[in-house]
């Protein structure tokens, strides 16, 4: 299928392909009409969350080093 500029926008609202959970999960998707620029999220972790990140960081770094790079 060739790329078409029309693929970058769509009408707001539900679609037949949304599935039964759409009304509960997809509020922002149902309101959307196209892609938006990337905006990094600011996340603040609790001390417990920071401890989880520290504990899992070595595994993440190992997986990141083995990632596919195209």
pLDDT recorded at residue 53: 97
**Percent of the chain residues past pLDDT 70, beyond the cut:** 100
pLDDT above 90 (res 21): no
pLDDT above 90 (res 2): yes
First to last CA, the chain: 22
pLDDT recorded at residue 26: 82
Q: Which residues of 25-54 are buried (b: 16+ CB within 10 A; e: fewer)?
A: eeeeeeeeeeeeeeeeeeeeeeeeeeeeee
Mean pLDDT of 24-50: 91
Mean pLDDT of 6-25: 88
* Tokens 């959307």, located at residue: 32
CA distance 50 to 57: 10
């Amino acid at each position: 299928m060739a790329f078409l500029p029309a693929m970058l926008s769509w009408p707001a609202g539900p679609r037949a392909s949304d599935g039964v959970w759409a009304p509960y999960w997809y509020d922002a998707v149902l309101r959307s009409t196209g892609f938006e620029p990337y905006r990094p999220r600011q996340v603040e972790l609790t001390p417990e969350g920071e401890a989880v990140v520290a504990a899992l960081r070595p595994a993440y770094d190992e997986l990141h080093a083995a990632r596919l790079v195209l």
